[in-house]
Amino acid sequence: MFKFLENLPARVYLAVTALLAVAPLLVTLGSQPFYLDLLTRILILAIAAVSLNLIIGFGGMISLGHAAFIGIGAYCVGIPAHYDIFNGFIHLGLAISCSAAFALITGAISLRTHGLYFIMITLAFAQMLYFTFVSLDEYGADDGLIIYQRSDFNGLLNLENPTTLYYTVLVTLLGLLYLMHRLVHARFGRVIIGCKHNEKRMQALGFDTYRYKLTCYVISGTICGIAGFFLGNFTNFISPEMMDWTHSGELIFMIVIGGTAGIFGPVVGTAFFLLLEEMLSGLTQYWQLIFGLVLILLVVFGKGGVHGLLVWADTRQTAQAQPENDS
Amino acid sequence: MTVNRPVDWHLLVSQLLNGLQLGLLLFLLASGLTLIFGIMNFINLSHGAFYMVGAFVCATVVQATGSLLTGIVLSLASLLVIGAAVEWLIARKLYQNDHLDHVLVTFGLILVFDTLAHIIWGPAGMVIPLPEILNGQVRVGSFVIPSYRLVIIGNGLMVGVALYILITRSRLGMLIRAGASDRDMVTALGVNIDRLYLVVFAIGAAMAGFAGLLIAPITEASIGMGNEIIIIAFVVVITGGIGSVQGAFYSALIIGILDTLGRSYLDDFLGLFLSNQAAETAAPALSAMMVYILMATILVFRPQGLFSPSGLRK
Amino acid sequence: MILKVENLNKSFGGILASRNLDLQVEEHEVHAIVGPNGGGKTTLMAQLSGLSKPDSGKILFKDRNITPLSTHKRVHIGLASSFQITSIIQSMTMLDNILLAVQSLQGHSYKFWAPVSGDAGMRETALNVLENVGLGRQADTVAGKSSHGEQRQLEIAMALALEPDLLLLDEPTSGMSKEESGEMVRLLKKMKGEKTILLIEHDLDAVFALADTTSVLVDGRILATGTAEQIRSNPKVQQAYLGEETA
């Protein structure tokens, strides 16, 4: 039953999860509500990062436009709220259907291409959406919209309460991680992983790879739309800036620091990224320089991110333990 | 307001020139990008940073020496060096890697360049003062055209012609063309491929910097100025076909003019079908999307772009 | 007749890789295509498997015109192919590679919940395929870590697992040592009579040991078709192809 606990990454991830579960308590004890905000932000962006990792880490589709889905989800809260519609079911329903539709349309076109083309086309579509919202004066254009009231789920959930919001996001993230775990081990996931490694072979095995990849892209975009829904609620403010392509770049940064090979990696990466940002930006206004250098060094010298590091430490440990057992 | 308005020829000509100007700037950016993509199979997101650095260096030199020419020469020289350094220190190590690594490393470079610019030149923008002679206006019949606009267009066309000659007539150009369509062949020819890559990267960076310093007297040099236009340059590269300078030229002009005219005429055009109010609401959003819709339409029919050199089908 | 190719034409930048190519493959035969490099063998294979489309001409499979069908659709009507360049999924185990093929046979894979590893039936089918090609004991070896010969065997096993009516093999012994190549010939011989196989092969010893019928492809068209004996004694063939080998 607890056999999975024998490997190091699993132990670390379980500890992180446990810590996250009791975090609000610790924060309240230390009366530092600011940290609850930071943690909530980490969890929300972790949802986005996990969704991005589904297409990049498992499917090999490098999208540089994922922030667009965050924007769509957030505007699906902000625009109805602008017209005094605060019903959370409508907000969430819109976020899911709009991000799915955007993923379907742009994915259908982008996935006809490969490699460099795909990267740049996803980027271009996201910028298209960005500039579209910049030009919409009705919804605040560049300045965006303020959301005066969070999504209302008929009293089922009170998202105005920071702790409730935190736990809602946490439960969503954990549910998502379980879903991902099932998905990548199920038939669909095997096909997606196969496509990443050798798409031509998958076609020769009889798989209509275009459709499987498109389905995967839509699932990923929709989940990221849900992250956007939470982010809109959390920040109480939305603007086109949320979907700027630099944020898509940051999301990739997060999943790569965490490691793209595992399911939990993106969560660790997001936490690492946001905590580092918090720390460095407190020290110097030029923190982005350090970020940039970390990124460059990470690519040129390191591989596999935190997850890779944990796996490496684990195998080293076992390798050292082995000879002792033999003697 | 929109119905039966007589055509304003002065506005149309001035918008066409604006479009041409944007198109040529895009071409200066995109031609370097498309060669780096096509020959090295390397995705360089930080190409826009070269555009910014070109503007800042030129502004600094002009403000210090008062000579525009010195500014241009020093700016281009510094970008040749920076481009070569980026290629030599970083890009070269990654050509064989996954594209994901390219995205990450060049994204990191953007952060580094933008922050360094912030540290060196401060958060505010910098102007490039123009000499009197370039700052005036030219009259052609009843048309009044700012002379600097003609300078940009003239220079853009000149670089375009020079690049065309370089690529079609010189040995370097022959290698570049061969490299863009069949990388293995160049290696098989026994060419020092490392040096070819270095030269292409440096020239690409210099052309991006030239675009930046050309536009800076109008917009001023500012941090992150390249991050927006670079996306449209990507669209130009994809639409034209990765690796094709010719494709980049045509699609840059088409996209530059379409974008400019769209922004000024789309509401009138939509007014023919929709109520005035609806047209005025929809037009800005639609004109922002137009360039991307063009790209998507072309890709539906030709996923490899308009002028893809053969051998680059992936 | 299981496969009939009529008047196939395909050009690449002015070079005709297939010109008015006609070819017929009978059921249950092993049909080999030989010919000099650049003769158009790989182009023919690509058009048969659906990776590239002919400029003109028709491909009939089981009396059905399959010319417009994409690769994955051809698989499901019984036409499977293996590649000259080994195209296994390197990071998966041998078993997982075969499981992908088994999965493909069992209808769509829009199944998001049940883990593949829990499906005992699929596993058994896949293990059988591995046994048949002599890789039974390597089921849990990561494919990329096995020897070149074993990877080639897996390459063919993946196509076999699709239970095709016609198996297209593009140079099954490509890059193999003499020993490995002999092993491969033994493996293919076992299938003789049960499966219809169309193969491209460089190694003429292998061809003459295996094939019921051999066709010689030169300059994009079939120069001669016949038994090994007929091909060997055909003067046109000797001049165009075998001549170089013996000279």
**What is chain C written as a DSSP string?**
--EEEEEEEEEETTEEEEEEEEEEE-TT-EEEEE--TTSSHHHHHHHHHTSS--SEEEEEETTEE-TT--HHHHHHTTEEEE-SS----TTSBHHHHHHHHHHHHTS-----SSBGGG-HHHHHHHHHHHHHTT-GGGTTSBGGGS-HHHHHHHHHHHHHTT--SEEEEE-TTTT--HHHHHHHHHHHHHHBTTBEEEEE-S-HHHHHHH-SEEEEEETTEEEEEE-HHHHHH-HHHIIIIIHHHH-
Exposed, middle or buried by CB within 10 Å (0-12, 13-18, 19+), for B93?
A: middle
A4 DSSP 8-state letter:
G
Confidence check: pLDDT of C243 > 80: no
Q: Which segments in chain B show pLDDT lower than 50?
A: 1-3, 310-314
Angstrom distance (rounded) from CA B161 to CA B249: 10
From the list A278, A274, A242, the residue with the least C-alpha distance to A258 is A274
So what's the pLDDT on residue B16? 92
C123 touching chain A per CB within 8 A:
no
Sign of torsion, CA C128 C130 C135 C136?
negative
Residue with tokens 């409508």: A90
B122 touching A (Cβ < 8 Å): no
From chain B residues 197-236, the ones with a CB under 8 A of any chain A CB are 227, 231, 234-235
Query: Is the CB of C109 less than 8 angstroms away from the CB of A187?
Result: yes
- Provide the domain count of chain A: 1
Query: Domain locations in chain C?
Result: 1-78+165-247, 88-163
Residues from chain C that touch A205, judged by Cβ atoms under 8 A, are: 72, 75, 100-101, 104, 158, 162
Do B54 and B28 form a contact (C-beta atoms < 8 A)?
Answer: no
Task: Name the A residues in 162-191 with CB < 8 Å from any B CB.
Answer: none
The pLDDT tens digits of the residues spanning C122-160 come to: 999 999 999 988 899 999 999 999 999 899 999 999 999
pTM given for the model? 0.91
Give which of B292, B295, B314 to mutate to test A binding, by max A Cβ within 10 Å: B292
pLDDT at res. B5: 60
Classify residue A85 as left (phi > 0), alpha (psi -120 to 50) or beta. beta
Which pLDDT does position A82 carry in this prediction?
94
- At C185-228, the pLDDT tens digits run 888 998 888 889 999 988 888 888 889 999 999 889 899 999 98
Q: For residue A4, what pLDDT band results from cuts at 50, 70 and 90?
A: low
CA distance B255 to C181: 57
**CA angle, A209 then A210 then A214, to 5°:** 115
Q: What is the mean pLDDT of residues A273-280?
A: 92
Establish if A9 belongs to a structural domain.
no
Q: Are B107 and B94 in contact (CB under 8 A)?
A: no
Q: What pairs with residue C64 in β-bridges?
A: C61
Structure confidence at residue B41 (pLDDT)? 87
* CA–CA separation, B265 and C85 (whole Å): 55
Residue with structure tokens 């089922």?
Answer: A156
Instruction: Determine the Cα–Cα distance for residues A167 and B113; give it in Å rounded to an integer.
Output: 39
The pLDDT of C218-242, averaged and rounded, is 85
Which of the four pLDDT bands, split at 50, 70 and 90, describes residue A318? low
Q: Does A239 map to a domain?
A: yes
Per-residue pLDDT, B311: 38
> Which CATH topology does C1-78+165-247 take?
Rossmann fold (3.40.50)
- Which has the closest alpha carbon to B60: B49, B74, B50, B41? B74
Tell me if chain C has a CB within 8 Å of the CB of A114.
Answer: no
- Could you give the CA distance from residue C82 to residue A200 in angstroms, rounded to a whole number? 11
At B286 the pLDDT is: 85
Is the Cβ–Cβ distance between B74 and B61 less than 8 Å?
yes
CA distance B287 to chain A (A): 8
- CA B118 distance to own-chain centroid: 23
Q: Which residues contact A15 (CB under 8 A, 6 or more apart)?
A: none
Q: Give the per-residue pLDDT at A323.
A: 47
Instruction: Point out the least confidently predicted range of A202-211, A213-222, B227-236, B272-281.
Output: B272-281
User: Token pair for residue B180?
Assistant: 């863009």
Residue in C with minimal Cα distance to A198 = C89
Longest distance between any two alpha carbons in chain A, whole Å:
76
Q: What is the mean pLDDT of chain C?
A: 90
More confident residue, A154 or A54: A54
Q: Write out the residue range of the structural domain in which residue A78 sits.
A: 38-251
- For A198-213, what is the mean pLDDT? 96
Instruction: Show the CA angle centred on residue A93, arms to residues A92 and A96, nearest 5°.
Output: 85
**Nearest residue to C232 via CA among C200, C202, C204:** C204
Per DSSP, helices labelled H in B41-67 are: 47-65
Closest CA–CA distance from residue A119 to any residue of chain B (Å): 9
Where in chain B are the domains? 9-223
Contact B299 A121 (CB under 8 A): yes
Q: Does A284 touch chain B (CB under 8 A)?
A: no
Taking each helix axis from N to C terminus, what angle separates B9-40 and B193-219, rounded to the nearest 10 degrees?
A: 160
Contact by Cβ (8 Å): C67, C58: yes
Alpha-carbon distance B189 to B175, whole Å?
A: 9
The mean pLDDT value of chain A amounts to 89
What value does the mean pLDDT take over residues A263-274?
A: 93
- pLDDT at A325 > cutoff 50: no
| d(C-alpha A286, C-alpha A296), whole Å | 16
Q: How far apart are CA B181 and CA C232, in angstroms?
A: 41
Residue numbers of C between 88 and 107 with CB closer than 8 Å to A: 88-92, 96, 99-101, 103-105
Q: What is the C-alpha separation between A49 and A305, in angstroms, rounded?
A: 14
CA distance, residue A254 to nearest chain C CA (Å): 24
More confident call, A95 vs A33: A95
Per-residue pLDDT at A3 exceeds 70: no
Contact A204 C83 (CB under 8 A): yes
Nearest to B167 by CA among B62, B244, B79: B244
Residues 158-197 in B contacting A (C-alpha not used; CB under 8 Å): none
Least confident of A271-275, B310-314, C181-185: B310-314
Which residues from A are below 8 Å from B242, CB to CB?
116-117
Q: Which of the listed ranges A89-98, B161-170, B228-237, C50-59 does the model predict with the highest average pLDDT?
A: A89-98
- Name the residue with higher pLDDT: C247 or C114: C114
Subunit contact B104:A252, Cβ cutoff 8 A: yes
Token pair in block for residue B131: 């000499």
Rounded Cα gap, residues B276 and B87, in angstroms: 52
User: To the nearest whole percent, how much of chain C has pLDDT over 70?
Assistant: 97
Residue of A nearest to C92 (CA): A194
Residue A105 covered by a domain: yes
Residue B181 or residue C91, greater confidence: C91
In this prediction the ipTM stands at: 0.91
Two tokens at A85?
């519609």
pLDDT single digits (tens) B99-152:
999 999 999 999 999 999 999 999 988 988 888 888 888 888 888 888 898 999
What integer pLDDT is reported at residue B132 of this predicted model?
A: 82
Nearest to C202 by CA among C37, C30, C59: C37
Specify the pLDDT at position A5: 64
Q: Tokens standing for C236?
A: 């046109």
Angle formed at CA C64 by CA C60 and CA C67, multiple of 5 degrees? 55
Residue A135 falls within a domain, yes or no? yes
